[in-house]
Structure 1
Amino acid sequence: MPQNQSKSMWLVLSAVAILVFLLNIDYTSVNLALVAISEEVPADLNSFQWLLSGYVLAWAALVVPAGRLADLYGKRTTLLAGIVIFLLGSGITGIGQSIEILIIGRILQGIGAAIFSPAAYGLIFTAMPQSKQGFGMGVIAGVAGFGLAAGPSMAGYIIKYLSWRWIFYINIPLGILVILFILGFVAKDKPQETSAKLDALSIALLSLGLGSFMFAVNQIEIWGLTEPRLWGFGLLGLISLGVFWFWDGNRKTQTLPRTLLRNSGLMSTVYAITFNVFNFSLILVMMSLYLQNTLRYTSYETGLIFLPMTLAIGILSPIGGKFADRMDIRIPIISGFIMIGISTCMMSFLHEKSSLLYVCIALFFAGFGLGQSWPNLNTAMFRAVKPTEINTASGIFTMATMLANSLSVILATSLMVIFGRQKLSFLMNQKGLEVNAEQYQTLTSIIAQVEHSPKQLQNFTAEQIPDFLEIIDKAFLHGLSIDMWVGTIFTLCGIIPVYWGLKHLKTRHLKEEHIVVPL
């Protein structure tokens, strides 16, 4: 490979890595910043929820049709447009003085992320020769995992020493650096379908369907399953998707090509990444609660304890990605799933006296498994489709990861409350403790919260509080165990589509050809 082409390849990889890092940091860090934001910007809890859901919903609603934008207008153009919108949203959120402005900024960030993410992933496969694609996806997967896991810790540091606004300001100089990289080292690619046009109605129906359905999913925790509005939005989403399916299917140029949904290799990776990300989110959320609620670590200390997982993902992903270039791609993916299964199985036995070493080993196994499986699932997804389908396929793949992340948190929290409530009742009967309906509701609501403290039991007497805090912790541990067993089962389920759906993907050793040239 010529030296100047090699330099371009690494600069493109660096640019995409920075983008992916910013994307995932923003995805997780805002959760920790809500308290700090609320001290400056007055608003109610439901309004603050939109700082989280507005970003996710905009991203989820547009990421699949955004893949078509890259097909029709080129990766480079789409990538630059998405970055500019993302940076505009970051700036607006950073300077915002009202909750409405902050929400608008977050929605713009989500729109920008949806536009540039399929093109960014697709660019890796056009920028890198076949022999290095696995390694490239490994680097990206490692950066993504590090961003997701390190987001809360980095946010805590920024809030403590700077301001919550710098969580958004920091995107701007890094984003401008990425733009310069792209302008300088990525050739303007030709649209893959120059005669095709986007169908506005198809995009509107798909975006409305995905957005409404994802909104309903995100609101389950807030509204509850008995809320009519929840079912209204869910039904609106499903009807919109149904109408989209029939309308788009009769178009000459489909927004969502049916050939992709009939592609067993692609859909196998989509199913597998759904189970994979489900477990990642499960571990990230539930272990954070365990470390803070049961072992009484601070949020900053919890972030440090996650380092065995975070570093394992970051270090092992590039190495794991190389396996895709040298062996049957199913081997590293399945071995990664097995390691994740061992991790969740270990976590199902956690208790109030578990050693920090045991916790770190379990987290390391999770990071090892994710570092093996993530890059190879990405590589398998790209290799399962035609070059002209890469952008749309990556949009579907990304949508699956977002849906898995949302469903994981909702299902884990629901199981925690359901089984925790059963354990709570059993322990109360065992100890002969009696409470009224209001007190019982307070106890069950605390189980899955971030903090278990006396101040949450203000309607209890001082003599009751120690006993009830103890049984709340035990109820939490019971729910945690159930969650982790579910994660273990889901891991085993993820192996099935990998084994059967990817058996036709062979190891490829092609010539080092790529299209990125210095300008």
Structure 2
Amino acid sequence: MDTENPVELRLGTARGRWVLAATALGSGMAMLDGTVVNVALPSIGADLGASMAALQWTVNAYLLTLAGLILLGGSLGDRYGRRLVFLIGVAWFALASALCAFAPNVELLIAARALQGIGGALLTPGSLAMLQASFHPDDRSGAVGVWSGLGGVGAAAGPFLGGWLVDGPGWRWVFLLNLPLAALVLAVTVRHVPESRDEQAAGRFDVRGAVLAALALAGVTYALTEGLHGLSLLAGAAGLLAGAAFVVAERRSPEPMMPLTLFSSRLFSAVNLVTLCVYGAFGGIFLLLMVQLQTVSGFSPLTSGLALLPITLLMLAFSGRAGRLGHLTGPRLPLFLGPLICAGGVLLLLRIGPAASYWTDVLPAVVVLGSGMTLLVAPLTATVLAAVDVRHAGIASGVNNAAARAAGLLAVAALPALSGLTGDAYQVPAEVDSAFRISMLICAGLLAAGGLLALATVRSDALAPERPVAEPSCEWYCDSTTPPIEPRRGSGNGDAGPG
């Protein structure tokens, strides 16, 4: 029986809503954990006596294993069943969260965060791939829009929930929060989500590729976090060599973890480059804004978290509509305007200083930032999936998620060093304020670059329905090991330039 797409659910049906709820809650839990910790960092540092580098690793240990293994997670789902791997990932994530909550020192906390990232790597690509495989083609853009909005709500609500918990029972409850969420996701998924897989997936897993990807990210991240000198410089060089070896290994492998044929689609390549720019900026913004509000402006953890509540509300209210808008107008316009609007919001964040007012300094900036994020996120996700055939949904979402997490990982590692925030400087208001301003200018530049890249490379008809595909040809891509992926309408494979 072909289980690649066993049902074609409609968005307005009861089962469709349950599937959407399960996938959004699962991925939202991972996204929530990516931001909820940020607001707790000053408290974690004070409680465990951690340096700035240790706090960076508290964030980056999670992002490192998530980014390094998320491609393998997508492949496992395509092979053994997306629902099954998703369920394993949710359970793993919950157990690792419990270890984080009871960590007695920062070293064990970092190790438990790395284990959390493994769970996230299993559940994150499966959530989006299950949507793509389960919903009717006419409803996929809308479903992805709602999924993006709810997942974005999880990311944006993290600082608020983290602040509330840190001000109340303490930072350890930031991790215990995942346990009831995971139980709910497991129950809904088992009861309502259909299984799907790629029936053509076969052969061995690309363990060598997964190891090289993780080593590449670990080496570069260590170098950026510790500074480019001595041992860290050697680690950075080793990371770059591992990255080059990863590309060679993927090209030669008969069953690559990241099929390079995916990048024969110009659209897929372009949107992943846009992802690197915008999610790198978001990683830096959400890390340093929480430190700025608490250390420089004197906001409590709860008030700092509440400062981002408008982003949550905007994404909850309008992300579904943004997904449909991107389908109607084409993704080029929202992928251009969204990052530019976000960049404007980041520049407004420069008004936040020692005597900052929430109403006049913080609120206008986060409203502009949230508006841009709302316009951007859903069309970005839908365009990535539209660039490849539906049977590659798992690996395509894995590549895009890896790009997003790797971008955040590198931003969190690099920005404090680039802006001079090292050692215990995160406890000194003047040092934090200076570093924040430098970092926000860098983030605004990344966002503007992402918008301009989308304008130059993304076609307006990228989300248009498929046209019949002729006999595949090596005009698109061929090598001796991997069959070609047929071009889709709007995939950017043709000779025409951007629409």
TM-score clears 0.5: yes
Kindly state the Cα deviation for residue 484 of structure 1 after the two structures are TM-superposed.
3.8
Match of 2:223 in 1: 216
Match of 1:25 in 2: 32
Match of 2:433 in 1: 476
Kindly state the Cα deviation for residue 21 of structure 1 after the two structures are TM-superposed.
2.1
Unmatched runs of 5 consecutive residues or more in structure 2: 1-7, 467-499
Match of 1:375 in 2: 378
Alignment of 1:490 with 2:429, yes or no, is no
| Structure-1-length-normalised TM-score | 0.78
Contact 1:133 1:325 in 2 (8 A): no
Residue identity opposite 1:499 in structure 2:
L
- After superposition, the Cα gap between the structure-2 partners of 1:129 and 1:450, relative to the gap in structure 1 and judged at 3 Å, is farther
Alignment of 1:313 with 2:315, yes or no, is yes
Q: Counterpart of 1:143 in 2: which secondary structure?
A: helix
Alignment of 1:170 with 2:177, yes or no, is yes
Contact 1:141 1:374 in 2 (8 A): yes
Distance 2:416 2:54 in 1: 21
Match of 1:401 in 2: 404
Contact 1:131 1:508 in 2 (8 A): no
Contact 2:148 2:377 in 1 (8 A): yes
Alignment of 1:61 with 2:68, yes or no, is yes
Counterparts of 1:83-482 in structure 2, within 5 Å, are 83-97=90-104, 102-217=109-224, 220=225, 223-226=226-229, 228-348=230-350, 356-417=359-420, 449=426, 451-452=428-429, 472=430, 476=433, 480-482=436-438
Give a deviation string over 1:184-209, Cα, whole Å, max 9, x none: 22222244334322133333333333
| Structure-2-length-normalised TM-score | 0.81
Residue identity opposite 1:256 in structure 2:
M
Match of 2:490 in 1: none
Give a deviation string over 1:426-475, Cα, whole Å, max 9, x none: xxxxxxxxxxxxxxxxxx978x62552xxxxxxxxxxxxxxxxxxx48x9
Distance 1:206 1:451 in 2: 36
Contact 2:144 2:381 in 1 (8 A): yes
- After superposition, the Cα gap between the structure-2 partners of 1:394 and 1:407, relative to the gap in structure 1 and judged at 3 Å, is same
Q: Could you tell me the percent identity over the aligned residues?
A: 24
Which structure has the larger Rg over C-alpha atoms? Answer: 1
Kindly state the Cα deviation for residue 300 of structure 1 after the two structures are TM-superposed.
2.1
- After superposition, the Cα gap between the structure-2 partners of 1:275 and 1:240, relative to the gap in structure 1 and judged at 3 Å, is closer
Distance 1:177 1:16 in 2: 11
Distance 2:109 2:259 in 1: 36
In terms of mean alpha carbon deviation, does 491-500 or 80-89 score higher? 491-500
Distance 1:115 1:135 in 2: 24
Kindly state the Cα deviation for residue 379 of structure 1 after the two structures are TM-superposed.
0.5
Q: Counterpart of 1:114 in 2: which secondary structure?
A: helix
Residue identity opposite 1:401 in structure 2:
A
Match of 2:476 in 1: none
Residue identity opposite 1:362 in structure 2:
A
Distance 1:4 1:445 in 2: 50
Match of 2:459 in 1: 503
- After superposition, the Cα gap between the structure-2 partners of 1:215 and 1:359, relative to the gap in structure 1 and judged at 3 Å, is same
Distance 1:99 1:248 in 2: 36
Distance 1:408 1:62 in 2: 19
Contact 2:43 2:166 in 1 (8 A): yes
Distance 1:156 1:348 in 2: 22
Q: Counterpart of 1:197 in 2: which secondary structure?
A: coil
Kindly state the Cα deviation for residue 22 of structure 1 after the two structures are TM-superposed.
1.4
Alignment of 1:74 with 2:81, yes or no, is yes
In terms of mean alpha carbon deviation, does 276-285 or 171-180 score higher? 276-285
How many residues in Structure 1 have an aligned counterpart in Structure 2? 458
Kindly state the Cα deviation for residue 345 of structure 1 after the two structures are TM-superposed.
3.6
Distance 2:353 2:197 in 1: 57
Distance 1:105 1:284 in 2: 22
Unmatched runs of 5 consecutive residues or more in structure 1: 419-443, 453-471, 511-519
Kindly state the Cα deviation for residue 181 of structure 1 after the two structures are TM-superposed.
1.8
- After superposition, the Cα gap between the structure-2 partners of 1:76 and 1:143, relative to the gap in structure 1 and judged at 3 Å, is same
Root mean square deviation of aligned Cα: 3.2
- After superposition, the Cα gap between the structure-2 partners of 1:328 and 1:387, relative to the gap in structure 1 and judged at 3 Å, is same
- After superposition, the Cα gap between the structure-2 partners of 1:365 and 1:34, relative to the gap in structure 1 and judged at 3 Å, is closer
Residue identity opposite 2:268 in structure 1:
L
Kindly state the Cα deviation for residue 283 of structure 1 after the two structures are TM-superposed.
3.3
Contact 1:343 1:362 in 2 (8 A): yes
